[in-house]
């Protein structure tokens, strides 16, 4: 279950923040999380931010995967993994 | 018109009705056929086939970014007639208004309708107004019917799709449905998404007069692109394959879809058409559509196959396939 | 279009490479279960089944809150709509779910005041604006949603809004996984664990279950890259015979989860036993209001009494939720039970296994 979309905080007003998803702006309650600031990405579920997105982890996941796959590909057929 | 609100009297057929017609409606829609004020409109048409279509509009809210119920009603019928390959000429307008409806809102709606008809070069030649007691209708309902003439040699139908046809869409999908939804009370989104409500008659004329072979034209309104493709697949007894990566969706529209768990393939469009064209003519038709002011983002999204007649398949971005079924019921915002 | 943290995890090139890798490492026949309806939807939407090797079967477990809500609770929601001056609020997911006789959508069509809300915030605000009405929220949710319901109740308590209440039917994921593992004949080779439930619970919440059953388990997100990565890890763990509990969604999930959200959830709710549709009673798998918040308990406020009714005859939702049957193996599937006319809960919710199967297969 649990649809939730990464949204960028653009304004904070006590426990309510305005968040942006590619030009769609709406209000979200931030009372379930600590230390948010403007510019942070939060995961919003049913009108509540339930966590911050860890940017470093996000990038690392993709990079790790790319490098592992690229390595495998080179091993397999001598080509670079990037299409 | 002196009144600020529509009264039951405005629909009575008496003096008040007449003054509303004379002071509010006629000046906006003015044309020789309507000015005669007969029970119906009388007009000449070219020899050949006619196309005739009707549609009722009950959209909520009645005003939304990019339009209102008025231009929606005019463009909608213009497009339905156009999708028969016809050149729309005359339109009728039936208004059902709730008692107490603000006259200034009505005026704005009628002005928009006149503007839309003028822009498309179509005449509103006959109509009717009824007023119902408060609560018996939701603000205003509009029915429009339209008549158009099919040029010689034009034969388009949902049953004409053939294996090998390329499928062109004239622009981004889901704009209208997402706009209306976002402006509904309760969802509270701010965005610059606008309805795509637009008349497509000129685009259709350019295509049908190009000398290219056109098999199917359809505007994917209610039920969205997914439902319309299913209709065509079953009418023509062919398979359809579309490519997810080619589907044009605006970022903000995709954003709202992600937020509410909606699939843009099932969201209404009001100013888009799909054209099924044999491969040899596809490039040319695509260029013609792109020249039109409402077709700048046109792309080829897929093709007709002779496998699995009646079924629509989507090739997903990751290289998988899934069946695109008809929409079964209204999509509801979900959290799961 | 640019949706940060979504688009890059839909990268077609990377996804296709992952698929190639999965094809290369997969040898054994495996049955992998996702226990999150949003995973189910995403798997269908991106056509993930169609790119997997033939030996890999994906099963949809009890992860759709709507599907596992006991029929009796649905009947109670329906009863609530019949009380004078009550406005029943619900998430859109729940509105078409049939109880033993009716559904919220049915009652709405007959004139009951039933409103879809997007957030608890909206339900509380409705109560604020309609002092002459009683606003009841149908509180159906897993760990992701329960803190938002708790927050709504705290807001209502703080602002002294006394015409707001919740009929709770909350569910917890780890006890359901444990119950699943205890089911005879169960055949599962790995769990794809729910990303957003885990945002709240943290990876640690699954540790006990994992250690007891040694079941390959991967927490992951909802984009194709996330799901393919989890499938790849589960295959690798199985092929190498090294089960592990892994977090493939570190951008959102930590070991300890969202401590503040859990604190708010535990301030308002306490663990209780709960009935799951199709699965029966599972110990410690629900959350009910604590004593000091019982003023917000719609079940107490309105004295809703609904009889126990048998679940629909022939409906295999329970077995489908446990992976013992696929929707196609249910006698009612596509016959008496369709999305237009659903019999069982798995056909109602768009993320229910049967509805998703019907739509995308």
Tens of pLDDT, residue by residue over B265-281, are: 999 999 999 999 999 99
Tens of pLDDT, residue by residue over C268-308, are: 999 999 999 878 899 999 999 999 999 999 999 998 889 88
Residue closest to C96 by CA, chosen among B328, A81, B282, B258: B328
Contact indicator for B238, B292 with CB cutoff of 8 Å: no
Q: Are strands C56-60 and C30-34 parallel, antiparallel or unpaired?
A: parallel
> CA of C130: how far to CAs of C133, C135, C337, in Å?
5, 8, 39
Residues A61 and A72 in one domain: yes
Confidence of residue C124 (pLDDT cuts 50, 70, 90): very high
Confidence of residue C318 (pLDDT cuts 50, 70, 90): confident
Residues A29 and A64 in one domain: no
Distance from CA of B333 to the nearest CA of A (A): 10
Quick one: pLDDT at residue B327?
81
Beta strands in C292-353 (DSSP E): none
Nearest CA in chain B to A46: B335
Quick one: pLDDT at residue A68?
81
Report the CATH number that the domain containing residue C76 is assigned in CATH: 3.40.50.11740
Residue B120, C-beta contacts closer than 8 angstroms, at least 6 positions apart:
B74, B75, B78, B88, B199, B201, B202
Residue closest to B242 by CA, chosen among B252, B232, B253: B232
CATH architecture of residue range(s) B166-323: Alpha-Beta Complex (3.90)
Total number of domains constituting chain C: 1
Domain-embedded: residue C84:
yes
Inter-chain Cβ pairs, chain A and chain C, closer than 8 A: 139
| A8 interface with C at CB cutoff 8 Å | yes
How many Cβ atoms sit within 10 Å of the Cβ of residue A34?
10
* Cβ within 8 Å of B, A 11-40: 21-27
**The domain containing residue C200 runs over which residues?**
13-28+36-57+64-307
Quick one: pLDDT at residue B324?
92
Range from B35-39, B184-188, B284-288, C155-159 carrying the lowest mean pLDDT: B184-188
Quick one: pLDDT at residue C56?
97
Inter-chain Cβ pairs, chain A and chain B, closer than 8 A: 48
| B44 interface with A at CB cutoff 8 Å | no
Q: Decide which of B134 and B38 is more confident.
A: B134
Tens of pLDDT, residue by residue over B306-336, are: 999 999 999 999 999 999 988 877 787 777 6
* Residue A80 predicted with pLDDT over 70: no
**The domain containing residue A78 runs over which residues?**
54-83
- Arithmetic mean of pLDDT, B253-258: 92
* Cβ within 8 Å of B, A 38-77: 44-46
Residues A8 and A22 in one domain: yes
Q: What is the mean pLDDT of chain C?
A: 92
Tens of pLDDT, residue by residue over C213-266, are: 999 999 999 999 999 999 999 999 999 999 999 999 999 999 999 999 999 999
Of A21, A26, A45, nearest to B335 by CB-CB distance is: A45
| B245 interface with A at CB cutoff 8 Å | no
C-alpha span between C114 and C86 (Å, rounded): 9
Tens of pLDDT, residue by residue over C148-169, are: 999 999 999 999 999 999 999 9
Range from A62-71, B13-22, B61-70, C101-110 carrying the lowest mean pLDDT: A62-71
**Is C92–B250 a contact, with Cβ atoms under 8 angstroms apart?**
no
- Arithmetic mean of pLDDT, B20-29: 92
* Cβ within 8 Å of A, B 188-217: 188-193
C-alpha span between C178 and C180 (Å, rounded): 5
Of C10, C46, C93, nearest to B335 by CB-CB distance is: C93
Third-level CATH fold of B8-150: 60s Ribosomal Protein L30; Chain: A; (3.30.1330)
* Cβ within 8 Å of A, C 88-107: 91
**Is A62–C8 a contact, with Cβ atoms under 8 angstroms apart?**
yes
User: What are the two backbone dihedrals, phi and then psi, of residue B17, each rounded to the nearest 5 degrees?
Assistant: -60, -45
Say whether B290 sits in a helix, a strand or coil.
helix
Confidence of residue C46 (pLDDT cuts 50, 70, 90): very high
> CA of C244: how far to CAs of B177, B231, C194, in Å?
45, 48, 16
> CA of B190: how far to CAs of A17, A21, B12, B193, B253, in Å?
14, 10, 41, 9, 12
- Arithmetic mean of pLDDT, C41-67: 90
Q: Are strands C217-219 and C190-193 parallel, antiparallel or unpaired?
A: parallel
Confidence of residue A74 (pLDDT cuts 50, 70, 90): low
Report the CATH number that the domain containing residue A33 is assigned in CATH: 2.30.30.140
User: What are the two backbone dihedrals, phi and then psi, of residue B13, each rounded to the nearest 5 degrees?
Assistant: 90, -5
Residues A65 and A79 in one domain: yes
Residues A40 and A63 in one domain: no
Nearest CA in chain B to A44: B259
Confidence of residue A1 (pLDDT cuts 50, 70, 90): very low
Domain-embedded: residue C152:
yes
**CA-angle at C296, arms to C291 and C300, nearest 5°:** 75
Residue closest to B334 by CA, chosen among C64, A37, C149: C64
| A43 interface with C at CB cutoff 8 Å | yes
Of B188, B191, B259, nearest to A23 by CB-CB distance is: B191
| A36 interface with C at CB cutoff 8 Å | no
- Arithmetic mean of pLDDT, B122-141: 96
Of B249, B322, B335, nearest to C91 by CB-CB distance is: B335
Distance from CA of B248 to the nearest CA of C (A): 9
Residue C100 is given by DSSP the state S
Of A5, A27, A43, nearest to C199 by CB-CB distance is: A43
Residue closest to B241 by CA, chosen among B159, B156, B316: B316
C-alpha span between C227 and C221 (Å, rounded): 7
* Residue B101 predicted with pLDDT over 60: yes
How many Cβ atoms sit within 10 Å of the Cβ of residue C256?
11
Residues A43 and A22 in one domain: yes
Total number of domains constituting chain A: 2
Distance from CA of B172 to the nearest CA of A (A): 16
Contact indicator for B85, B218 with CB cutoff of 8 Å: no
C-alpha span between C213 and C182 (Å, rounded): 9
Distance from CA of B261 to the nearest CA of C (A): 9
* Residue B85 predicted with pLDDT over 90: yes
Residue C203, C-beta contacts closer than 8 angstroms, at least 6 positions apart:
C219, C245, C247, C253, C254, C255, C257
* Residue B150 predicted with pLDDT over 50: yes
Quick one: pLDDT at residue C79?
96
Residue B25 is given by DSSP the state I
C-alpha span between C350 and C336 (Å, rounded): 18
Cα C324 versus chain centre, distance: 19
Say whether B299 sits in a helix, a strand or coil.
strand
Residues A58 and A45 in one domain: no
Confidence of residue C64 (pLDDT cuts 50, 70, 90): confident
Take residue B247 and report the two structure tokens written for it.
């589907």
Contact indicator for C105, C340 with CB cutoff of 8 Å: no
Domain-embedded: residue C313:
no
Domain-embedded: residue C350:
no
DSSP helix, strand, coil percent of chain B (3-state; round to 5) = 35, 25, 45
Which residues of chain C neighbour B334 with C-beta distances below 8 Å?
Answer: 91-93, 350-351
Percentage of chain B exceeding pLDDT 90:
83
C-alpha span between B103 and C92 (Å, rounded): 36
Quick one: pLDDT at residue C359?
73
Q: Which chains neighbour C (Cβ–Cβ under 8 Å, 3 or more pairs)? A: A, B
Residue C316, C-beta contacts closer than 8 angstroms, at least 6 positions apart:
C325, C329, C330, C331, C332, C333, C344
- Torsion, Cα C84 C90 C95 C101, to 10 degrees, reads -40
Cα C274 versus chain centre, distance: 14
**Is A34–C197 a contact, with Cβ atoms under 8 angstroms apart?**
no
Quick one: pLDDT at residue C193?
97
Quick one: pLDDT at residue C360?
63
Domains of chain B, by residue range, sit at 8-150, 166-323
**Is B259–A24 a contact, with Cβ atoms under 8 angstroms apart?**
yes
| A83 interface with B at CB cutoff 8 Å | no
Quick one: pLDDT at residue B180?
92
* Residue A78 predicted with pLDDT over 50: no
C-alpha span between C318 and C351 (Å, rounded): 15
**Is A3–B251 a contact, with Cβ atoms under 8 angstroms apart?**
no
Take residue C352 and report the two structure tokens written for it.
């229910």
Tens of pLDDT, residue by residue over B169-183, are: 999 999 999 999 888
* Residue C92 predicted with pLDDT over 70: yes
Residue closest to B70 by CA, chosen among B119, B134, B33: B119
Quick one: pLDDT at residue B310?
95
Residues A30 and A70 in one domain: no
C-alpha span between B107 and C309 (Å, rounded): 56
> Do the interacting molecules here have an ipTM over 0.95?
no
Quick one: pLDDT at residue A79?
44
**Is A26–B190 a contact, with Cβ atoms under 8 angstroms apart?**
yes
């Amino acid at each position: 279950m649990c649809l939730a979309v990464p949204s960028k905080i653009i304004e904070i007003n006590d426990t309510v923040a305005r968040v942006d998803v590619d030009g769609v702006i709406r209000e979200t309650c931030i009372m379930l999380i600590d230390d948010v600031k403007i510019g942070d990405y939060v995961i919003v579920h049913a009108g509540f931010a339930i966590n911050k997105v860890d940017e470093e982890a996000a990038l690392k996941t993709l990079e790790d995967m790319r490098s592992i796959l690229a390595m495998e590909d080179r091993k397999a057929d001598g080509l670079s993994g990037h299409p | 018109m002196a009144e600020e609100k529509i009264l039951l009297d405005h629909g009575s057929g008496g003096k008040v009705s007449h003054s509303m017609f004379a002071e509010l409606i006629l000046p906006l829609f003015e044309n020789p056929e309507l000015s005669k004020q007969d029970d119906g409109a009388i007009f000449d048409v070219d020899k050949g086939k006619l196309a005739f279509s009707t549609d009722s509009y009950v959209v909520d809210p009645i005003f939304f970014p990019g339009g209102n119920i008025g231009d929606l009603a005019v463009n909608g019928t213009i497009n339905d007639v156009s999708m028969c390959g016809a050149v729309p000429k005359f339109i009728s307008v039936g208004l059902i208004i709730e008692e107490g409806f603000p006259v200034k809102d009505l005026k704005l709606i009628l002005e928009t309708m006149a503007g839309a008809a003028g822009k498309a070069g179509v005449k509103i030649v006959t109509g009717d107004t009824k007023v119902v007691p408060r609560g018996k209708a939701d603000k205003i309902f509009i029915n429009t019917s339209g008549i158009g003439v099919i040029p010689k040699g034009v034969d388009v139908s949902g049953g004409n799709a053939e294996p090998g046809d390329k499928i062109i869409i004239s622009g981004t999908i889901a704009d209208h449905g997402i706009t209306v939804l976002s402006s509904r009370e309760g969802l509270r989104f701010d965005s610059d998404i606008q309805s795509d409500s637009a008349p497509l008659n000129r685009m259709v004329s350019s295509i049908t007069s190009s000398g290219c072979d056109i098999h199917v034209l359809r505007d994917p309104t209610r039920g969205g692109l997914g439902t319309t493709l299913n209709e065509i697949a079953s009418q023509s007894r062919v398979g359809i394959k579309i490519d997810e990566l080619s589907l044009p969706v605006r970022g903000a529209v995709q954003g709202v879809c992600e937020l509410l768990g909606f699939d843009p393939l099932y969201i209404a469009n009001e100013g888009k058409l799909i054209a099924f064209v044999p491969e040899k003519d596809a490039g040319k038709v695509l260029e013609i559509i792109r020249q039109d002011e409402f077709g700048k983002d046109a792309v080829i999204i897929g093709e007709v196959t002779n496998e699995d007649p009646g079924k629509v398949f989507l090739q997903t971005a990751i290289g998988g396939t899934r069946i695109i079924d008809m929409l079964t019921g209204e999509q509801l915002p979900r959290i799961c | 279009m640019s949706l940060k943290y979504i688009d890059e995890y839909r990268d077609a090139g990377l996804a296709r490479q992952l698929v190639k890798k999965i094809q290369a490492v997969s040898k054994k026949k495996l049955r992998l279960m996702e226990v999150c309806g949003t995973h189910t939807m995403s798997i269908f939407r991106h056509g993930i089944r169609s790119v997997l090797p033939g030996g890999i079967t994906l099963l949809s477990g009890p992860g759709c809150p709507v599907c596992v809500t006991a029929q009796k609770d649905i009947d109670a929601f329906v009863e609530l709509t019949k009380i004078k001056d009550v406005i029943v609020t619900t998430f859109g997911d729940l509105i078409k779910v049939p109880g033993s006789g009716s559904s919220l959508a049915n009652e709405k069509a007959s004139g009951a005041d039933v409103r879809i809300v997007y957030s608890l915030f909206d339900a509380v605000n409705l109560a604020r604006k309609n002092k002459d009405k009683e606003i009841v929220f149908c509180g159906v949710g897993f760990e992701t949603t329960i803190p938002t319901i708790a927050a709504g109740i705290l807001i209502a308590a703080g602002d002294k809004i006394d015409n707001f209440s919740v009929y709770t039917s909350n569910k917890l994921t780890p006890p359901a996984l444990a119950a699943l593992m205890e089911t005879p004949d169960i055949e599962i080779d790995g769990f794809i664990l729910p990303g957003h439930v885990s945002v709240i619970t943290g990876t640690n919440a699954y540790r006990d279950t994992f250690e007891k059953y040694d079941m390959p388990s991967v927490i992951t997100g909802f984009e194709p890259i996330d799901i393919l990565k989890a499938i790849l890890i589960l295959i690798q763990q199985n092929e190498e015979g090294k089960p592990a509990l892994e977090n493939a969604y570190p951008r959102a999930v930590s070991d300890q989860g969202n401590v503040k959200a859990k604190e708010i959830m535990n301030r308002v709710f306490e663990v209780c036993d709960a009935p799951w549709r199709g699965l029966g009673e599972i110990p410690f798998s629900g959350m009910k209001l604590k004593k000091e918040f019982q003023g917000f308990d719609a079940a107490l406020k309105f004295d809703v009494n609904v009889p126990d009714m048998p679940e629909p005859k022939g409906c295999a939702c329970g077995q489908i939720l446990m992976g013992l049957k696929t929707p196609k193996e249910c006698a009612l599937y596509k016959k008496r039970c369709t999305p237009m006319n659903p019999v069982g809960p798995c056909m109602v919710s768009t993320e229910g296994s049967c509805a998703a199967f019907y739509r995308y297969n």
